[in-house]
Amino acid sequence: MGPGVDELDENGVRRLLAYVAAAGIAGGQPVHEVEADTRSVGRYLGCPDVQVQGWPTGVVVSLGGGTPATFESVEGTIRLDQSATTARIRQQLLDGTIGPVEALEQLRDLRSIPPRYPRLGLHGGMVCVASGIALVLQPLWPSVLFSVLAGQVTAGFIWLSGKRKALAVLTPFLAAFVVALCAFWVARLGLIEGPLRSLLPPIAVLLPGALIVTGVAELAAGAMMAGASRLGFGTAQLAMFTAGVLGAAWLTKVPVDQLNNQIIPWRGLWVPFLGVLLLTAGMSLMESIPRYLVPWVALMLATTLTFQIIGQTVAGATWGGGLLGATVASFGSSVIEMHRPRLPRLVLFLPSFWLLVPGSLGLVSLTQLGAGTPVAGATALESTGIIGSIALGLLIGTTAARAVGLLRRSRTRRPGARRRQTF
């Protein structure tokens, strides 16, 4: 059993809870889930009346009504290995196997954890991620080769934006413009088919699909301020990507028929699952995922893809795949964490967004709308349905997992956990 909470005064406890909440938000967790997790940690620290309010850019925590509050800003996102560290610390606090002082120190140093593969992770990971997504979205070998090469352009912009903060604002536009320019030029030479869909894999890591879907889920869960701001920011980023693609299309004078959403069927079910393996390898390099989590990430991605195919086949529409895939991804990752707390739900679940690709479909629809293609309205309606179905699947999966958790806790109490003395 770790040291008692009396090693921290009330200010220290508030800071600890604020760090826990801020790390969850920085990792991409919806704010209503972050608030629930923070209150759970507060109860185990002997503070049953914790009040917490989160936004995508910060969090406010107090130990009760009418008591002082602490604000902690969220300065950008964190990698999946840092999210795994956050989940481990939170679970150890609940189990009583780490003291509050040590937990506070580890969370304070969270952002200073270096990436496991500094340069190889970015460029080598982008090769795997771009080729893996290409095998799912546009399974033609010329498109896969183009994605591998163009992905290095995106990797270069990511690296530069980390060094020059002013460039980070323009990265969505610049990356989309350069990659689209290359795609339209290569398509004019007759080397690739469907340039609009072929340009998506190299820039998919930057698309705000997860941001938009999370915002919709937060709105549905009642977190109106967080959901509206996240949805607005994601939509603005998507508009910058669209401006880059449209600018490249105008400059190269691309015919309107080249902007159709030309879908190439898989030549065998092994193709998308090979894409899943490459996607897992790439994310492990780029996000420094701990080695013991890599097989579980691959399992969740393969399971999500399987149910995505089943849902799309049964419903006869892409929204069915998004709904069932997101439900299984959310529910499965939550249930795995219940039985194996060392396997954090967020780390297992978030990679599924790169497979469900809501941001890619949103970019396609906005580009077609801007270019005035005949099928723009149908594509936009399809993209809206897919984003909504993924958000709904996220809520269904999370709610079902919570029901399973409540049933499990009603049958057996967590061993070794006890409440600490209340302030």
> pLDDT tens digits, residue range 71-129?
999 988 899 999 999 999 999 998 888 889 999 999 999 999 999 887 788 899 999 99
Q: Report CA Rg, the chain.
A: 22
Q: Are residues 180 and 316 in the same domain?
A: yes
Q: Are residues 368 and 274 in the same domain?
A: yes
pLDDT at 382: 66
Q: Which of 121-130, 141-150, 376-385 has the lowest mean pLDDT?
A: 376-385
Q: Are residues 279 and 338 in the same domain?
A: yes
B/e letters for 253-283, b = 16+ CB within 10 Å, e = fewer, are ebeeebbbbeeeeeeeeeebbbbbebbbbbb
- Please check the confidence at residue 193 and state whether its pLDDT lies above 90: no
**Global pTM?**
0.84
Q: Are residues 380 and 282 in the same domain?
A: yes
Across the range 156-178, mean pLDDT stands at 87
Residue 109's contacts (CB-CB under 8 Å, 6 or more residues apart) are: none
Residue 328 lies in a domain: yes
pLDDT-derived band at 380, boundaries 50, 70, 90? low
Structure tokens, 26: 């920085």
Query: Residue 419: what residue type?
Result: R
- Please check the confidence at residue 367 and state whether its pLDDT lies above 70: no
Q: Are residues 60 and 178 in the same domain?
A: no
pLDDT at 109: 92
Nearest to 197 by CA among 121, 119, 282, 258: 258
pLDDT-derived band at 355, boundaries 50, 70, 90? confident
Q: Are residues 149 and 288 in the same domain?
A: yes
- Please check the confidence at residue 386 and state whether its pLDDT lies above 70: yes
Task: Report d(CA 275, CA 217) in Å as an integer.
Answer: 27
Share of the chain above pLDDT 90, in %: 38
pLDDT-derived band at 260, boundaries 50, 70, 90? low
Structural domain harbouring 48: 5-113
Q: How many domains does the chain have?
A: 2
Q: Are residues 193 and 296 in the same domain?
A: yes
Q: Are residues 232 and 96 in the same domain?
A: no
Residue 220 lies in a domain: yes
Nearest 5°: the CA angle 382, 276, 132 is 80
Give the relative orientation of helices 318-339 and 294-315 as an angle to the nearest 10 degrees: 150
Q: Are residues 75 and 145 in the same domain?
A: no
The β-bridge partners of 54 are 59
CA dihedral 154, 155, 158, 162 (to 10 degrees): -160
- Please check the confidence at residue 338 and state whether its pLDDT lies above 90: no
Q: Which of 113, 130, 158 is the endpoint of a domain? A: 113
Pair 107, 14: CB distance under 8 Å = no
Cβ of 198: how many Cβ atoms within 10 Å? 30
- Please check the confidence at residue 419 and state whether its pLDDT lies above 90: no
Name the one residue in this structure whose structure tokens are 């997790």.
Answer: 37
Q: Are residues 296 and 368 in the same domain?
A: yes
Q: Are residues 98 and 54 in the same domain?
A: yes
- Please check the confidence at residue 417 and state whether its pLDDT lies above 50: no
pLDDT at 375: 54
Residue 241's contacts (CB-CB under 8 Å, 6 or more residues apart) are: 172, 173, 175, 176, 203, 206, 207, 363
pLDDT-derived band at 326, boundaries 50, 70, 90? confident
Structure tokens, 116: 């496991």
Q: Are residues 294 and 399 in the same domain?
A: yes
pLDDT at 377: 58
Task: Report d(CA 31, CA 254) in Å as an integer.
Answer: 42
Across the range 323-332, mean pLDDT stands at 90
Residue 102 lies in a domain: yes
Pair 287, 80: CB distance under 8 Å = yes
Residue 191 lies in a domain: yes
pLDDT-derived band at 311, boundaries 50, 70, 90? confident
